[in-house]
Structure 1
Amino acid sequence: MSLKYKAIRAAFEVLWAARAPALMRRLSSCRGVIFTLHRVLPDEPRAFSPNGILQIRPDFLDYVLERLRALDIDLVSLDEAMDRLKAEKPGRKFAVITFDDGYRDNLVHALPILRKHACPFTLYVPTAFIDGTGELWWQALEDLLAVHERLTVTLDGAEQTFEARTTEEKQASFAELYWYMRRAPEADRIALLTSMCEFYGLDLSAHCRSLIMDWNELRQFSSEPLCTIGAHTVNHYELAKLAPEDARIEMVHGIDVIGAQFGKRPRHLSYPLGGPLSADDREFRIAGELDLDTAVTTRPGGLYRHHLETPMQLPRVSLNGLFQNRRYVDVFSSGAIFTMLGRVGAG
């Protein structure tokens, strides 16, 4: 675990021991929180699993929903959350459950639990992923490093070798390559990923198909009364790295394809990756021109009445796979804590 996550865990322990979450829920003007989830899997991540932060166990999801209700926090849809923000006086606290990317395990492992708790939720899907043509580059990079003792790639015109014999070497190589890809223009990232996968024998289309639902599977969600299907662009590109018109096309086409598939235009959008490096004021302005009700980021924080003025940049709190400790659910439930932590991180 990195120093960053060790520090967060230590902060969670202090907050929980001090009973700060309960106090902040009572005293804060925060009305609710939107949770970000990705994968729900019963198996523990392998020793080398940098993307393990994106997965939680079914039993932990079950407990989260149970505990939120025990704390008198209502589980509501995004639409109801926005309606509650419009009320002059705050009512009961609420939580919204959202999933990004359309992983098949959402259908297999998450949906039965959501139904058990009658929990509304939003599923944000990038349409190229559902088509089976998307590139889950972060997972592909992990999977390549997991099975090879070294990767040799060309970066900035020079051949470089990344050692991956031990877990520590794999983690270091993943971090360096991950951030190289995050900084690279999308076209360069795609070219690098494609060349790596071709050389080391990873079929990107089959990789996508093995992890992500197809349209027939997704229809089980479209007919589910608890589910709201939201847009997540077409290719899951970092929109801030694209030219303005290309960013707009990614959003518009993602919305249009879902509307054509299900006969209902999505009213909610999630920005891929969702942090300041991936979506900022320009993207918020574009989303505001697309007749959407909300758009969510991954910037941490709770929901306040003032978010009615900025519905295209709503914060979320990640249910991170590294923090699947039952007592931390009380911390997660307090959006005000994450608003405070977000301000500290931005300072």
Structure 2
Amino acid sequence: MSRLGTLGAKLYRGEVGYDFVGKRKFYYGLSVLITITAIVGLAVRGLNMGIEFQGGAVFTVPKSESSVSQIQEDAENASGHDAIVQELGNGTVRVQVSGLDVKQADQVKTALAEDLGVAENKIAADIVGPSWGEQIANKAWQGLAIFMILVVIYLAIAFEWRMAAAALIALIHDLTITVGVYALVGFEVTPGTVIGLLTILGYSLYDTVVVFDGLKDGGKDIAKQTRFTYSEMANRSLNGTLVRSINTTVVALLPVAGLLFIGGGVLGAGMLNDISLSLFVGLAAGAYSSIFIATPLVADFKEREPQMKALKKRVLAKRARGESPEDASPEHTDGAPQPAVAGPRRSGPAGKRR
């Protein structure tokens, strides 16, 4: 068995682990800091909305001796607006200028033909109205709202309302970070970006639901025992699915990283950035939130229940009396204690292990 497989088996059996739930306040603070940074970036820089949302014109210019920077300068001088220029695979150049009507687009087309030394009829011009983008945005918001409602209802029925609330907070966390990254890096927001944002919601929930399923099974008769508190049981469930969560996230991130860094960066296919950045950031944020946010939040919610408070009091009291040596903590991978170890143990008269 590989080292990763061996580690996964030990995590599943509770022989080793990391105290995610016990250190939740640190990760809550880190998440708040990241979220505030994203919100500040969104408020200060704003989103670079694509032409589909602002309206404007897209010119397809045939291959010429002019460089991309020169074409961009000519387009901006002719239109008075910022221009986005991208080289296409067939040697042509795509020039996108927002905020142009039909008359202004004709003027820019004529000016580009003169500056680049090409026939005006060789330049294709497409006018995009902002109403189409507004319709897409409205539909996206409606779809997002419906999705959130259905997720909360399903999780509340399949699990319980505390898990539904934790999952909803994690989803909002992921979306906020992704949108904030778009504002900070200045990537253009297009319909592809909207599709990417909606797509990551499912990925974000995947690991969360897997852990919640373990929590549901482990919490059925938890009040009838005195070995673990609810937080300790939640931490064990989280460690048991940790390697699987990491594996599925890495496998999902690899092709998206190829689109973002190779396709969009090295090969210059800038349009791939529209969807690949949202997928990449959203997948990473979703994996983080399922481990460090969603499950610890459920533990926090549950520990406030009178029944779980009473359980915690009994467990700690029993350990203080030295009556539960089988619950003593083994060594963790990080040196932190964990409440369970596989295998039988015995205790001496003074409560010490033999």
Same fold (TM over 0.5): no
Structure label with greater radius of gyration: 2
Scaled by the length of structure 2, the TM-score of the pair is 0.22
Scaled by the length of structure 1, the TM-score of the pair is 0.23
Q: Which has the higher strand share?
A: 1
Q: Which has the higher helix share?
A: 2
